[in-house]
Structure 1
């Protein structure tokens, strides 16, 4: 799939939000990947949870960021603070364990959302080793959204999910009742319930280090999936155990055996 800019069109301005807390070991690579972007019409908000290590010093030396630091009630509270402060047409997240896959990722996103037919876009994601971010561990290849997909355990990789700020204003931000699955619930609410229009970009947009809150233990994975099933019930999306778990487990297995394709 090739995405090209339309003649005479104006690409939207992007708000990029980085949520962090005591991220001195990884945030420099996140900032470097942002600084390398060829698309420059964006603001970069740093929402820090009150770091006590060198995180804020590293951010300060990088410059050209708007920084908010103080206590929060967790990652989704911090993300909501970022959304509330956003001024761009499009909002996306690149957290302190994440890096853009290449220097044209934001260019690709901005070009895709020039077309006002689409409310959001998303792409593919690669999980990399915490110690060696050049080493691929999993390749999350997504697909075009179809109604009912969340009932089959599907969702886009949230770090690649960019949505118009007007959608947040209309349908709300992260529901903090979900401690590990608020991102899945939000995308479910937008795509399945609100039926916003979406564009799948078959390119790797983000490289994400393993070791996040959800994936760091089996108990957290179980809790997240319990929350996802609760969200499905809340939104009236009936699901069977086999219909949810079988395709989800197959997809996860494929992530470990699939190799990155050149874009």
Structure 2
């Protein structure tokens, strides 16, 4: 089973090398690594090219943002399964991809997801909060639960059947895609009880009160435009679950 992993970056020189190293040290042999750079003006591209012999595809051109870049990566991917790794983040151990591949093979799942740690940007040994997954259910989504998107690996044919990331939902494009795949089309998703990603804190949707308002509005838009009958309290519970992560 071939797995394609996509990293998108724009002016991410501070942590990109950590991200790349966590991928190229994976022990899984059939791994395709694709890096999409949004015409960075810092040293991101030169850092990527430093590892060009270990990165299958490097593209550097202007894009319409993170999710447009991800769609470019999906179009280039040749793997049976597609995952993403943000340029600030790291795979948590060298066997992450091999365990994910084994889970796909044994479970016959359409998607596999796991656990995530939010870490301090500088002191990466310091865990800020933990996103502990659980077995997927439609009722869980109604109660505001979702898999941690950076841990979610999906069969490539799902994108062909149900579409890529929509550019109409801002930072909620990942939430919209998961709603579409998991809730609307009811794909078979399996929880892997393993730490998949160490994610540095400071994501776009949590950056400020203004961004949080926009994130809420885009979440609501994602529900409505997919014709999904979820109560508004779902979005409130979604935020509450983030707070609960501090107590794991």
Tell me if both proteins adopt one fold, taking TM over 0.5 as the criterion.
Answer: yes
Q: Does 1:172 align with 2:163?
A: yes
Matched, 1:211 2:195: no
Q: Which residue of 1 aligns with 2:126?
A: 135
Residues 13 and 235 of structure 1: is their aligned pair in 2 closer, same or farther, counting only changes over 3 Å? Answer: same
**What secondary structure is seen at the aligned counterpart in 1 of 2:171?**
coil
CA contact (8 A) 2:5 2:32 kept: yes
Q: Which residue does the alignment assign to 2:22?
A: 33
Displacement of 1:243 in angstroms is: 4.7
Unpaired stretches in structure 2, ≥5 consecutive residues: none
- CA distance in structure 2 between the aligned counterparts of 1:234 and 1:115, rounded to whole angstroms: 35
Contact 2:119 2:201 in 1 (8 A): yes
Matches within 5 A, 1:140-219: 140-219=131-210
- Decide which structure has greater helix share: 2
Q: Partners in 1 of 2:230 and 2:105 — Cα distance?
A: 35
What aligned pairs does 1:1-263 form with structure 2 within 5 A after superposition?
12-63=1-52, 64-65=54-55, 66-115=57-106, 117-245=108-236, 247-258=237-248
- For the residue of structure 2 that corresponds to 1:203, the secondary structure is strand
Structure 1 stretch displaced more, 82-91 or 149-158: 149-158
1:175-201 Cα distance to aligned partner (Å, 9 max, x none): 100111010100110011111111001
Distance across 2 between alignment mates of 1:243 and 1:103? 36
Q: Deviations over 1:119-175 (max 9, x none)?
A: 010001111111222211010112111114333221111110000101100100001
TM-score, L = length of structure 2: 0.95
- Contact conserved, 2:89 with 2:198, CA < 8 A, in 1? yes
- Structure 2 CA distance, aligned partners of 1:70 and 1:244? 35
Q: Deviation per CA, 1:69-90: give whole Å up to 9, x if none.
A: 0000000100000001100000
State the distance in 2 between where 1:248 and 1:190 align.
18
> Structure 1 pair 13/157, CA: closer, same or farther in 2 (3 Å)?
same
Q: Distance in 2 between matches of 1:231 and 1:134?
A: 35
Q: How far off is 1:118 after superposition?
A: 0.7
- Change beyond 3 A, Cα 1:243–1:46: closer
8 A Cα contact 2:4 2:79, kept in partner:
yes
| 2: CA distance, partners of 1:40 / 1:21 | 28
* Separation (CA, whole Å) in 1 of partners of 2:93 and 2:107: 25
How many residue pairs match? The answer is 246
Say what the alpha-carbon RMSD is for the aligned residues: 1.4
TM-score by length of 1: 0.89
CA–CA distance in structure 2, aligned partners of residues 133 and 219 of structure 1: 28
Gaps of 5+ in 1: 1-11, 259-263
Q: Any idea what SS the aligned residue of 2:205 has? A: coil
Q: CA deviation at 1:218?
A: 2.2
SS of the aligned residue for 2:204 comes to: coil
